[in-house]
Structure 1
């Protein structure tokens, strides 16, 4: 009886780990730089970046991503990390304002607001999904 139970447990373990091993690991291996390069293509089209702008925007985003990653590695509490991250974001935005024209900057701010609203809606949907139904 113990052998049968042990065999079933072993078979279950093997069968459940196989799908996990087959999962696509490309997203897990991405760094901030990879993510930045991917997002730059969309920004180039959406903002109408021309000439040197894509390279300049990419450089600004890579510098910000590295600084943000370095800040997160420090392991500071969120209360201490938040104001430092805001300073980094303000520096990034100041650099972007120098590269983008006013129309492009306005469009970038609108895209950020859209993304923020979408994230909030997704978070709210998850919150409502996991919340048990109200019982009276």
Structure 2
């Protein structure tokens, strides 16, 4: 089945269809060297910093480049660099709406949460979507089933 046959007009397809479920995660005590190794090993641009099941923040390849460019130390713990103001979207959000969120926030990755009536800030983080995933989808590339 081609993606265009299942896609709603205007990018209203729920973002959960594009979300990668296998989130790369690191613990808060891991060093930036370990974060960089995780990014390189998985060939990804961002990791989620978690304590147990709770998301604490994210660290992107941009963050690591900034540390190196400013003479920072790769022995620094993840919690000292992570972005704590997490940008998340509901799994029901349309692809085009998520693209707008990413552009407005100046980010290349967004966390996807499932709606949960028990949590005012949404349910648990269930995936991640990159700008590449969104643009590819909108241009007609295949998406995960």
TM-score (norm 1): 0.22
Of structures 1 and 2, the one scoring higher in RCO (CA 8 A, sep 6+) is 2
TM-score (norm 2): 0.21
Highest Rg: 1 or 2? 1
By percentage of residues, which structure has more strand?
2
